[in-house]
Amino acid sequence: MMNCREVGGDYERYAAQYLEKQGYRILERNFRCREGEIDLIAEENGYLCFIEVKYRSTTASGYPQEAVGYRKQRRIYRTAAAYLQKRKPGRHLPCRFDVVGISPEGIWLIRNAFGGM
């Protein structure tokens, strides 16, 4: 039986494949630092995208993408800032925060799901 981290990893790989088909170029997976973690970092149409992947086995209590609340968004902002400080991408791309929601009902991509930096 798989633990939550293994299940999450499987769905993050699935999300990355989906995003690549949508034209994203995956730059990093599971960027971690003291501030937190970002599931996927990619480039798409001139944007540096910080992507949160959420999976739910059922939508009885809501869709997975609805689980990215204010506190999670703040943590993602701080982690993205740390990424930019640490990695210093060569080009200055505008940043965007996307969410991929996965459930048995399907997969949803929300570009610019919450405010930028």
Q: 8 pLDDT band (50/70/90 cuts)? A: low
Q: Reply yes or no on whether the pLDDT at 56 is more than 80.
A: yes
Query: How far is Cα 96 from Cα 33, in angstroms, rounded to an integer?
Result: 19
Q: Work out the average pLDDT over 11-22.
A: 94
Could you state, in order of their start, the residue ranges of all structural domains in the chain?
A: 4-62+70-114
- pLDDT, tens digit, 9 for 90 and up, residues 96-114: 999 999 988 899 999 999 8
- CATH top class, domain 4-62+70-114: alpha beta
Q: Work out the average pLDDT over 76-103.
A: 88
Q: In one letter, which amino acid is 113?
A: A
> Is the pTM for the entire model greater than 0.75?
yes
- HSE-up of residue 104 (Cα within 13 Å, Cβ side): 4
* Host H or E run for residue 96: strand 95-103
Q: Work out the average pLDDT over 59-65.
A: 78
